[in-house]
Chains A and B, each alone.
Chain A
């Protein structure tokens, strides 16, 4: 059993054990109901003894009270254990993904990780429900079996030995159908998926005037889905009907054996009634066991997926080194190779505003090593002379903030987003430098407006300005910006370039971009080609003096 599954179970064992015990009580109670019905028929209905009637109806009341209460509290305990185990795993996964040394996202799409943290965590938690139900079903089986054997040993054996082959037969009957219906159901679900997809592309369809084409295409999808669904439903119906018939035939066999025993006087009429009731009852715990087994298998598979995420190796080295109390902001790269970076050396003086022009792949690689999403394959990066690899990644990020081009905004108001990591008094100047104050003014409730769908309610340019304001508001000793204004109009971009320069005066700022407005605001620009520095100078000098640079920046 995997470690994740084990921990999930042991972490909640009190709830789970209590729940199982109670659930067993419930199943035993359910098994006793037909037995008591039989006794009432024997002791009261057949004899006309009204005292016996009262006594046994009283017993029935006790049985019902016990089964009802134990059901109620067992399932609460199981559900609590299940939900809490899932919650614990969810938090553990979130912590792992957000760990400063990263790595958990490697090779996994965000949607996949979210599914693991929600769906898989839930399924591992649900193992508690399966265990509880499984224990209860076993108890019900044992109680029902004993009751049957008590009624009559031969009849009990017929039922107890007859049920396993019956269920096996049902399983074999169902198997091919299940397999087929799985793929059919997938195809059936396709229709809703396509509808949602078309609706989310509504603006694009409208822009093209392709609504009619989309509708007729959807109608075809919907009809295909319908046909698949009906095939699945037909298979399912035959399977269920077959089960119904098999069960009925089984009851007939029980009635045949029981009736013969009763006719020969080996058992009473009431015992015959009880036996038929028990035979019907016993099918339930057995199918519960089969279900619980399936749930456990799913839980194991989910636990393995969770364990794989938790066990992902971190992306960067750990370091214990501390930063100086006052970071000057001197960054040096020496012979750094990583991804598209090839033997890159670069010095950024404290307080300098440096522009870097690079191809997209080199820019991304540079951002990754500066933000410690990855360590360079070769070469050293230092901050104030301290090698990155000897520093705690979380500590470096207090001094070096890398604001990615596609940085995400989060749920919350515009102000919550800008202020997420803000230095004291950092928000107002940052909002104005990034022209995010204009964004706030255009919203119904200003900076208090909630940004829905992770900021998708804003336009691309608005989103970029809010993200830039958030980065500036943190007032880090070293700020690295990547293409911060690609979706901002030219007028605003020119203003933002000046704003960044003013807001960052005296602090180290590295801007990786190809926008002339931003590069013109930098003290110095470095032009990186083929992963290494080829020229440097001011933007003006390079525009006039370097054809390759001019071509890259001014297209």
Chain B
């Protein structure tokens, strides 16, 4: 293998810009986390281990019984003498089969139980992380942990672990059995071990980075296909087909190359293990030859030893072949434990404030030091007042919205909601953005995320309030229709209405809408604006709007520019003030270009 195989591509490409990946647990911490996970299953684990060991031990009786049959034949006993040992063989097989099944079931119970607890811990912590922290790591970090790492670990726990356990047991007990036949058989059989150890070392050093690179390449190929095929109509419109076919070919070639390098590595690995098999087998045969010649063992025993060793080929290959899976799983486990160990976010205040007013005073905020986005914003919003936030991109509207919703915390200044003290989040302030997500499951389940104890009628009322009842009832199974990723696809506008219906159900006193109606095309926007207006009825609302008609309907309009409030007042005040808002309104509502 050439040196380039050692090039270790980073499994997760990182943006050099202020990405701070979520933590990864250290080796010792990962091991202790595994022990903690295993603790409640200790008894089952021991029972499983013992049952499997018994099953394997019983299975190993096959070779000496066969050896015994050979001895009987070699001693010239009558044919009827072998009936008893053959019966034993059949019995051994039956008991071994049953015991192995039991053992595997017990091991699966331990492994799957640990896995379930781990993923629950992980999801609980991941959902509890401050959004700010997730964004600093890049949303891909968390997503790849919950998809790739969980699936790698699941596969290892589910398939590799039981196979590994059985192989290791077979290996260990066979070696013991060899020693029982004659300790010298064990000694020569161990001649294969240095070759195997060296081969595994050689393999793991190359396999781990190679498979990591392979996963990245396959992911890249998938991304490329998704981009090209998902954007097919854009590709055609701009006549980019040739470029895109070339890009697909390049990403596919990369994946193919790595797959071929992978198979070269694997085939070399098993070829080297063949060498170990040969060395061990010939050594056992030669030892048998010598031991039979000096009378220490019978021909039957020598045959049994050879059969033992021959039957070790498969379990050894299985066990050694799983080494890199185990490595990948350990890496994934460290990444999951890293997140599961993070301190939970401080418990959020759930007490509702007496009045739902918002006081913002001297708030400053910067994503990057030296680049302030908000530069001293002061604003009081009365309970049940509807305030529209208007301004150019980059004025800081979204940032202010996130601060009020408690997703970021001001660098300087304070934000208080009613008398509940600074920056309460959760049920007090709800944020709906243009980013929509339809949760996989039934429509009713999706809505109940906002209020778990909602009755069917509550759901219908909420849908009706945002104008979504007609389409929701027209779905194939009504509210029980499975929506989301693998279910019925909702349009962007429907998904956004759903978000507003959740808002109605969550019933928060303060609402922040950040361009919640923007993604729909121009005509859809109007339906959504009506839905949004209905959803914020009776609540304190801050609306980041780009359609000025929506702003015009607010109780008060605040114009933000470069991180400071430059105008504030009602629509008619501002239109008559001939300031910045008036100019915007003129451009919007009218009139003529000339």
Contact = CB atoms under 8 A, between A and B. Distances in A.
A369 to B, nearest CB: 13
Nearest to B428: A209
Interface stretch (A131-139, A154-162, A251-259, A344-352): A251-259
A378 to B, nearest CB: 23
A53 interface: yes
A215 interface: yes
A276 B63 CA distance: 10
Contact of B440 (A67, A194, A259): A194
B503 interface: yes
Contacts of A513: 522
Given A493-B546, A516-B589, A237 B151 contact: no
Among A110, A203, A253, A520, max chain B CB count under 10 A is at A203
B180 interface: no
Interface in B133-149: 134, 139-140, 142-143, 146-147
B282 A555 contact: no
B569 interface: no
A317 to B, nearest CB: 15
A201 interface: yes
B289 interface: yes
B241 A99 contact: yes
A489 B393 contact: yes
B229 A117 contact: yes
B89 A237 contact: no
**What are the 9 A-B residue pairs with the smallest beta carbon separation, nearest first?**
A248-B93, A245-B97, A241-B101, A408-B231, A209-B426, A201-B437, A252-B89, A207-B431, A540-B592
Interface in A262-289: 262-264, 269, 272-273, 276-277, 280
Contacts of B93: 244-249, 251-252
Given A208-B502, A240-B100, A454-B230, A192 B394 contact: no
B446 to A, nearest CB: 9
A411 B227 contact: yes
A48 B524 contact: no
- The B contact surface, by secondary structure, is helix
Contact of A95 (B124, B245, B584): B245
Contacts of A252: 86-87, 89-90, 93
A491 B584 contact: yes
30 contacts: A40-B306, A57-B285, A79-B263, A91-B245, A94-B228, A114-B225, A203-B437, A204-B436, A205-B127, A205-B449, A206-B431, A208-B502, A209-B348, A209-B426, A215-B124, A226-B116, A252-B89, A255-B66, A263-B79, A273-B307, A411-B223, A470-B238, A483-B522, A486-B520, A489-B391, A490-B547, A491-B392, A491-B393, A555-B529, A555-B549
Nearest to A461: B393
Interface string B42-80: 000000000000000001001000100110111011110
B96 interface: yes
B421 interface: no
Contacts of A14: none
B592 A191 contact: no
A56 B142 CA distance: 59
Contacts of B281: 33, 37, 60
Interface in A82-137: 83-84, 86-87, 90-91, 94-95, 97-100, 102, 104-105, 109-111, 113-114, 117-118
A98 B236 contact: yes
A421 interface: yes
B104 A240 contact: yes
A411 B79 contact: no
Given A60-B281, A97-B232, A225-B116, A244 B90 contact: no
A402 B234 CA distance: 9
A259 B97 contact: no
Interface residues of B, number: 178
Given A222-B119, A248-B97, A373-B233, A208 B449 contact: yes
B458 to A, nearest CB: 15
B197 interface: no
Contacts of B270: 68, 71-72
B120 A489 contact: no
Contact of B252 (A87, A251, A264, A460): A87
B193 interface: no
Contact of A213 (B435, B452, B587): B452
Contact of A263 (B72, B89, B108): B72
A71 B154 contact: no
Given A91-B252, A245-B97, A470-B238, A538 B86 contact: no
Best-buried of B81, B225, B299 by chain A (most CB within 10 Å): B225
Contacts of B366: none
B321 interface: no
Interface in B538-589: 546-549, 584, 587-589
A492 B392 CA distance: 6
Chain A interface secondary structure, helix, strand, loop or mixed? helix
Contacts of A543: 590-591
Contacts of A247: 93
Contacts of B593: 520-521, 540
A196 interface: yes
Nearest to A73: B267
B128 interface: yes
B363 interface: no
A175 interface: no
Contact of A45 (B259, B260, B285): B285
A374 to B, nearest CB: 11
Interface residues of A, number: 171
B278 interface: yes
A442 interface: yes
Interface string B307-326: 10011000000000000000
A420 interface: yes
A60 B484 CA distance: 60
Interface in B108-138: 108-109, 112-113, 116, 119-120, 122-124, 126-128, 131, 134
Interface string B526-538: 1001000000000
B256 A272 contact: no
A251 B62 CA distance: 9
Of A100, A208, A462, the most chain B CB neighbours within 10 A belong to A208
A404 B245 contact: no
B267 A517 contact: no
A208 B548 contact: no
A340 interface: no
A447 to B, nearest CB: 15
Interface in A57-73: 57, 60-61, 64, 67-69, 71-73
A492 B393 contact: yes
Given A249-B94, A488-B393, A554 B253 contact: no
A438 interface: yes
Contact of B238 (A209, A210, A420, A539): A420
Interface stretch (A298-306, A321-329, A393-401): A393-401
Nearest to B283: A57
B292 to A, nearest CB: 5
Contacts of A241: 97-102, 104
Contact of A403 (B94, B119, B237, B425): B237
